[in-house]
């Protein structure tokens, strides 16, 4: 009905119909989760939060665990840090390596074990020296060393700061790190050098080594890369055999050899053959028919295919008969009657079965020279150019640039066939330019004496990931076995000097223990080894030591070589851990099979006859989403700083854990990083919800005991026992990707989809005792999740924990363990039986609100029915207030017996209104809320 009221301002219409009373709201009576822990952080807030966690929690965590866990009785877990290079900014490979190490350490601490981890840096080497000398040429050794040290220190400062920002567990506050240019580190290294020298494992000799003309230094195998598309000449060259060697008149006979390094022909001193092969003398089509050529019969077809020259066999020869042959040098005509030598390295897999032998330019050639006592001729200097001892047309020419063409031009009439060969060729890993093999006086470690004990020691070493263990061990053994010797001297200024004096006249090594000890004392006094380049022999060696050496200062010269940086890093176990300690783990990329894994093993075997590690963890290398290696030239580089700024440090760590352990190619892409951030957001949401439910941490004396008969609570506690055990097992196997997947699955299923979903009615609307039991159950769940997540995402866990533990204690101060008595098979079986029924109900129920359903379940006694009765005591009676009703999310359940083995499920719809407060129980005629809700609200009032 409308009525009109007249006012001076105009007319208005008003309804006089009675207003409907507002529905009663029960929101304030419901126990909703409450927390100040934010659901998400802005980039600025996240950066500030990470800074606070670093300063207040993570910075002190290493020192805390050292003190707290030292008396627990467990042996300390030692992870020895493979030193990153003090050269430039950190990249994604550094992130993978350091974060995997940190996860490994943190999981040990989370399980109550003390850890030993001292970060280190490799500070010497050519790349640093090149950067230090790039601004000026012809600098003194002292100037180079000063600039190199400054460059390395600056790189270490920058890298250390970024490592710390990732939350890496180490004693950064006390700067407890190692650097390979620290005085005590070098003292240890000098002493180790002398000890190995005394054992005869370190020696000086003239040998062919990989030599880099671009760097002017010898290189070890680990300092090589390989250019798969290198082009070399492929040349068949003839060597005129001495006429007296064959009883064949009027014929000139030639030995036919194949080479890809014509520049080495001036140094030829022999031809090698295999006595077990058959050889043939052949005529070549389109060649002088009075010329005969010697080659292995098994390689004749290959020769014909490569040269298009047909061969006509004139005579078969036994390989052993070649020992009587001799030949004339193809370049130096004055050298006649040069020898043929039998050698096992000659095979019938390629070439001609006859191998040109230049002892200065090949390891096998050199071994032949040792056996046959041939003088080694080397016509190539440190710059890779021919010396004045070389033939006059080659002097001063680069062997790599002009050597091949000049030699081939000179011996053109003896070149039977010439073409090009694309093949894999060693290059200097720093300058990216080709290397050569060149004989020079160098220092070596005798790996032949070490290979067998090293291989035996490796058999006792565990290798992870398990899936690649056999392949990884085989790769390491292969690299070990194929190493003929280890050249440990380098011709540079930035490094540790080889502490040796030489006789000025004879070149003989002058060295004893007193000299080494004197140099070590000088090093401690001076604070650096620079004095080796500054002081003269007179200043360096006191008179009493000269008398002991039986020399005068004027008769001695200092060595100018430095130690290979792999000798530096290979000795870190001794300098950092102590001479007797063995690391539990070395964790590095697979490239260290030829590097640190091997050099450390050889040094430890040489010094103390055991491996330096009990286990190896081998990870891969980062690539972009197309599988390409990251490089500035390709423009596909993503730096860790970019990732932490955009997504946060924990997202970087989550990505490493998810992808860094199972593949040798670790893909970095915005898609995967975004996915990591999203998954982390879901984990954060779960921790936030749990925190809202359980409130603040209660001290032991404030905890109220509950007579908890809830099977759901018992089920979750039992699941937590299994969860803790499985997580620890996966962590100990270094399967961090599976830890991530397992934790996510546990959160999504057992925690969220099962427990949290099913107890919501009890949590929101139940009585104080029920809520308290839920809170205490979820407290244990929250703590276990924090324990499982802390090794991977410590920033998130510490932030969340700060809202839970108001005493400001950090998570690393906690000891979180499940109790064996929580394992409850009866509860697990009963809940799983209920889940089976729930699946059947969901298949039949359709779109009906399940709280309107009445369920009848018939089953055989002593079967599934008995398990369901644990959750729903009445038999043959409809009942709505049971845990089975709660789990099935239905209005009522009736259990009854039948003779059938299978359960029979029948559904019907309850015609009643649901309680406006809990939306679960039906109402009587005039009830405002169900009886349960009324009782709860009355108790609170």
* Chain centroid, CA 152 distance in Å: 23
CB atoms within 10 A of CB 153: 15
- The angle that helices 43-53 and 640-647 make with each other, rounded to 10 degrees, is 110
- Dihedral sign computed on CA atoms, order 299, 300, 302, 307: positive
CA atoms within 13 A on the CB side of 903: 24
Tokens standing for residue 471: 């392949």
Token pair of 709 as six digits: 């008969």
Q: Which residues contact 387 (CB under 8 A, 6 or more apart)?
A: 378, 379, 380, 381, 395
Are residues 262 and 436 in contact, defined by beta-carbon separation less than 8 angstroms? Answer: no
Residues 6+ apart with CB under 8 A from 420: 231, 232, 233, 234
Cis peptide before 465 (omega within 30 of 0): yes
Query: How many Cβ atoms sit within 10 Å of the Cβ of residue 408?
Result: 18
Q: Which of the four pLDDT bands, split at 50, 70 and 90, describes residue 846?
A: confident
Mean pLDDT confidence for 394-404 = 94
Asked if 693 contacts 773 with a C-beta cutoff of 8 angstroms, the reply is: no
Hey, which residues does 327 pair with through a beta bridge?
241, 338
**What tokens were used for 201?**
């494992």
Q: How far apart are CA 868 and CA 891, in angstroms?
A: 16
In this structure, the dihedral spanned by the alpha carbons of residues 524, 526, 532 and 537, taken in order and rounded to 10 degrees, is: -100
Mean pLDDT for 355-378 is 91
Please say if the pLDDT value at position 8 is more than 50. no
Q: What is the mean pLDDT of residues 534-540?
A: 92
CB 716 within 8 Å of CB 763: no
- The band of 7, judged by pLDDT with boundaries at 50, 70 and 90, is very low
59 has a pLDDT exceeding 50: yes
**Spatial CB neighbours of 294, under 8 Å, sequence gap ≥ 6:** 241, 253, 254, 255, 256, 279, 280, 281, 317, 322, 354
Beta strands 278-284 and 415-428, pairing class: unpaired
For the cut 50, the answer to whether the pLDDT of residue 1 exceeds it is: no
Residue 549 CA from chain centroid, whole number: 48
Question: Which residues touch 453 (CB under 8 Å, ≥6 apart)?
Answer: 605, 609
**Class of the CATH domain delimited by 228-430:** alpha beta
Chain center to CA of 820: 35
pLDDT of residue 633: 66
In this predicted structure, the answer to whether residue 16 has a pLDDT above a threshold of 50 is no
- Render pLDDT for 747-761 as a digit per residue (tens, 0 to 9): 999 999 999 999 999
CATH architecture entry for 43-177+571-665: 3-Layer(aba) Sandwich (3.40)
Answer with the residue of higher pLDDT: 820 or 899: 820
Secondary structure (DSSP) of 419-454: EEEEEEEEEETTT--B-EEEEEEEEEE-HHHHHHHH
Question: pLDDT averaged over the chain?
Answer: 90
pLDDT for residue 706: 62
- Choose among 51, 56, 89, 79: nearest CA to 612: 79
Tell me which DSSP letter residue 361 carries: G
DSSP 670: H
Q: Contact, 265 vs 237, CB < 8 A? A: yes
Q: What is the mean pLDDT of residues 337-358?
A: 94
Helix (H) or strand (E) holding 3: strand 2-7
Tokens of 7: 């006012």
Provide mean pLDDT across the span 624-641.
80
- pLDDT computed for residue 329 by the predictor: 95
Do 43-177+571-665 and 189-216+439-569 come out as alike in CATH topology?
A: yes
Domain residue ranges in the chain: 43-177+571-665, 189-216+439-569, 228-430, 693-825, 841-910
Res 5: pLDDT: 31
Q: Is the pLDDT of residue 306 over 90?
A: yes
Q: What is the pLDDT of residues 658-672, one digit of tens each?
A: 999 888 888 999 999
DSSP secondary structure letters along 67-103 = HHHTTSSSPPEEEEPPPPBSSS---HHHHHHHHHHHH
DSSP 8-state symbol, 353: S
Would you say residue 634 has pLDDT above 50? yes
pLDDT in tens, 671-706: 999 999 999 999 999 999 999 999 887 765 455 666
CA distance 603 to 201: 10
Kindly state the helix (H) or strand (E) to which residue 317 belongs, with its residue range.
strand 311-318
d(CA 258, CA 496): 42
pLDDT of residue 327: 95
The class level of CATH for 189-216+439-569 reads alpha beta
Residue 9 has pLDDT above 50, yes or no: no
* 73 confidence band (pLDDT: 50, 70, 90): low
Residue 609 backbone zone (phi > 0: left; psi -120 to 50: alpha; other: beta): left
pLDDT number for residue 618: 94
What span, in angstroms and rounded, lies between the C-alpha atoms of 41 and 47? 9
> Cα dist. 375→59, 96, 372, 753, 861 in Å?
63, 51, 9, 81, 97
Beta strands in 620-768 (DSSP E): 621-623, 665-667
Instruction: Indicate if the pLDDT at residue 20 is higher than 60.
Output: no
What pTM was computed for the model? 0.84
For CA atoms 699, 703, 708, 710, the dihedral sign is negative
Determine the average pLDDT of the residues in 408-413. Answer: 95
Task: Name the least confident of 295-304, 339-348, 434-443, 482-491.
Answer: 482-491
How much of the chain, in percent, has pLDDT values that exceed 70? Answer: 96
For 790-812, how does the pLDDT look when each residue is reduced to its tens digit (9 = 90+)?
999 999 999 999 999 988 889 98
DSSP 159: H
CA 473 – CA 464 distance, rounded (Å): 10
The residues, any chain, with a CB within 8 Å of residue 101's CB and separated by 6 or more, are 79, 81, 117, 168, 587
* SS3 at position 359: helix
For residue 4, the model assigns a pLDDT of 31
Q: What CATH superfamily classification does 693-825 receive?
A: Isoleucyl-tRNA Synthetase; Domain 1 (1.10.730.10)
Residues in CB range of 70: below 8 A, 6 or more apart = 114
Q: How much is the average pLDDT of 295-321?
A: 94
Q: Which of 633, 890, 932, 613 lies closest to 767, judged by CA?
A: 932
Burial class for 878, CB neighbours closer than 10 Å (0-12, 13-18, 19+): middle
Tell me, what's the pLDDT at 277? Answer: 95
Cis-peptide, bond into residue 561, ω within 30° of zero: no
Q: Is the pLDDT of residue 278 over 70?
A: yes
Q: Is the pLDDT of residue 901 over 80?
A: no
Strand partners, 434: 427
> What pLDDT sits at residue 704?
60
The string of DSSP codes covering 538-579 is HHHS-HHHHHHHT--GGGEEE---EE-HHHHHHTHIIIII-T
What residues pair up with 340 in beta bridges, in sequence order? 271
Report the alpha-carbon distance of residue 509 to residue 498 in Å, rounded: 11
Longest Cα separation, the chain: 146
904-909 and 120-121 strand pairing: unpaired
Interval 308-321 mean pLDDT: 93
Characterize 841-868 residue by residue with b for buried, 16 or more Cβ atoms within 10 angstroms of its Cβ, and e for exposed: beeebeeeeebbbbbebbbeeebbbebb
CB 687 within 8 A of CB 779: no
Q: What is the mean pLDDT of residues 591-616?
A: 94
The pLDDT of residue 899 is above 90: no
Strand ranges, E, within 344-413: 355-357
pLDDT band of residue 623 (cuts 50, 70, 90) is confident
- Angle at which helix 768-789 crosses helix 794-804, to 10 degrees, equals 150
């Amino acid at each position: 009905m409308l009525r009109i009221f007249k006012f001076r301002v105009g007319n208005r219409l008003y309804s006089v119909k009675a207003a409907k009373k507002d529905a009663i709201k029960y929101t304030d009576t419901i126990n909703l989760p409450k927390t100040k822990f934010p659901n998400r952080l802005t980039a600025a807030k996240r950066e500030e939060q990470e800074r606070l966690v670093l300063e207040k929690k993570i910075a002190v965590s290493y020192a805390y665990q050292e003190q707290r866990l030292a008396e627990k009785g467990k042996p300390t877990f030692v992870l020895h840090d493979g030193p990153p290079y003090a050269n430039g900014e950190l990249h994604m490979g550094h992130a993978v390596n350091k974060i995997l190490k940190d996860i490994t350490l943190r999981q040990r601490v989370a399980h109550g074990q003390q850890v030993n981890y001292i970060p280190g840096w490799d500070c010497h080497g050519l790349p640093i020296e090149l950067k230090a000398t790039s601004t000026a040429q012809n600098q003194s050794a002292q100037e180079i060393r000063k600039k190199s040290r400054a460059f390395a220190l600056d790189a270490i400062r920058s890298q250390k700061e970024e490592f710390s920002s990732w939350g890496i567990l180490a004693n950064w506050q006390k700067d407890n790190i190692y650097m390979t240019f620290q005085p005590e580190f070098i003292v240890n290294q000098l002493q180790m050098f002398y000890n190995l020298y005394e054992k005869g494992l370190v020696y000086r000799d003239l040998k062919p080594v990989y030599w880099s003309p671009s760097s002017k230094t010898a290189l070890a195998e680990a300092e090589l890369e390989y250019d798969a598309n290198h082009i070399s000449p492929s040349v068949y060259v003839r060597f005129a055999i001495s006429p007296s060697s064959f009883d064949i008149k009027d014929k000139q006979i030639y030995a036919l050899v194949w080479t890809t390094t014509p520049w080495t022909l001036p140094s030829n001193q022999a031809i090698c053959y295999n006595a077990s092969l058959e050889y043939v003398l052949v005529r070549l089509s389109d060649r002088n028919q009075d010329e005969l050529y010697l080659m292995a019969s098994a390689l004749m077809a290959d020769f014909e295919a490569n040269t298009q020259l047909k061969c006509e066999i004139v005579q078969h020869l036994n390989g052993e008969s070649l020992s009587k042959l001799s030949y004339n040098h193809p370049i130096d005509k004055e050298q006649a009657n040069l020898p043929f030598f039998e050698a096992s390295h000659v095979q019938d897999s390629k070439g001609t079965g006859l191998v040109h032998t230049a002892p200065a330019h090949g390891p096998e050639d050199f071994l032949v020279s040792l056996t046959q006592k041939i003088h080694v001729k080397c016509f190539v200097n440190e710059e890779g150019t021919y010396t004045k001892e070389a033939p006059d047309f080659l002097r001063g020419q680069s062997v790599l640039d002009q050597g091949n063409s000049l030699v081939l031009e000179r011996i053109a009439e003896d070149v039977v066939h010439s073409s090009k060969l694309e093949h894999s060729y060693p290059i200097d890993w720093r300058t990216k330019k080709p290397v050569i093999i060149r004989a020079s006086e160098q220092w070596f470690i005798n790996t032949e004496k070490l290979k067998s004990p090293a291989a035996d020691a490796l058999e006792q070493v565990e290798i992870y990931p398990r899936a690649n263990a056999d392949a990884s061990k085989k790769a390491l053994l292969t690299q070990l076995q194929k190493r003929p010797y280890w050249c440990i001297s380098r011709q540079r200024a930035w490094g540790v000097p080889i502490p040796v004096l030489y006789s000025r006249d004879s070149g003989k090594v002058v060295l004893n223990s007193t000299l080494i000890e004197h140099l070590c004392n000088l090093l401690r006094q001076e604070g650096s080894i620079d004095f080796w380049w500054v002081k003269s022999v007179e200043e360096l060696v006191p008179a009493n030591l000269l008398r002991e050496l039986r020399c005068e200062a004027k008769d001695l010269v200092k060595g100018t070589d430095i130690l290979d940086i792999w000798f530096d890093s290979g000795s870190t176990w001794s300098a950092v851990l102590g001479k007797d300690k063995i690391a539990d783990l070395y964790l590095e990329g697979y490239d260290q099979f030829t590097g640190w894994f091997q050099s450390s093993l050889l040094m430890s075997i040489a010094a103390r006859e055991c491996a330096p590690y009990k286990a190896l963890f081998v990870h891969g290398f980062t690539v972009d989403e197309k599988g390409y290696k990251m490089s500035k030239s390709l423009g596909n580089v993503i730096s860790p700083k970019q990732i932490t700024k955009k997504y946060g440090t924990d997202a970087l760590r989550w990505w490493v854990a998810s992808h860094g352990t199972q593949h040798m190619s670790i893909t970095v892409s915005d898609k995967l990083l975004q996915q990591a951030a999203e998954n982390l957001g879901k984990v954060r949401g779960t921790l936030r919800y749990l925190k809202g439910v359980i409130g603040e941490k209660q001290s032991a004396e404030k905890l109220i005991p509950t007579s908890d008969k809830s099977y759901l609570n018992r089920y979750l506690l039992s699941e937590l026992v299994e969860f803790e055990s499985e997580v620890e097992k996966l962590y100990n196997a270094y399967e961090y990707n599976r830890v991530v997947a397992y934790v996510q699955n546990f959160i999504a299923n057992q925690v969220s989809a099962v427990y949290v979903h099913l107890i919501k009615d009890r949590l929101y609307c139940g009585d104080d005792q029920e809520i308290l039991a839920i809170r205490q159950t979820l407290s244990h769940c929250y703590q276990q999740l924090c324990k499982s997540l802390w090794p991977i995402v410590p920033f998130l866990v510490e932030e969340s924990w700060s809202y839970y533990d108001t005493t400001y204690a950090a998570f690393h101060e906690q000891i979180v363990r499940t109790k064996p008595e929580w394992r409850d098979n009866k509860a697990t079986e009963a809940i799983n039986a209920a889940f089976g029924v729930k699946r059947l109900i969901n298949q039949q129920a359709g779109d009906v609100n399940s709280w309107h359903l009445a369920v009848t379940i018939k089953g055989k006694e002593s079967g599934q029915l008995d398990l369901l009765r644990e959750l729903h005591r009445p038999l043959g009676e409809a009942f709505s207030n049971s845990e089975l009703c709660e789990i099935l999310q239905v209005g009522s359940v009736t259990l009854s017996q039948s003779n059938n083995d299978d359960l029979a499920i029948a559904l019907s719809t309850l015609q009643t209104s649901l309680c406006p407060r809990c939306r679960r129980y039906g109402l009587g005629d005039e009830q405002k809320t169900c009886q349960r809700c009324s009782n709860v609200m009355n108790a609170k009032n």
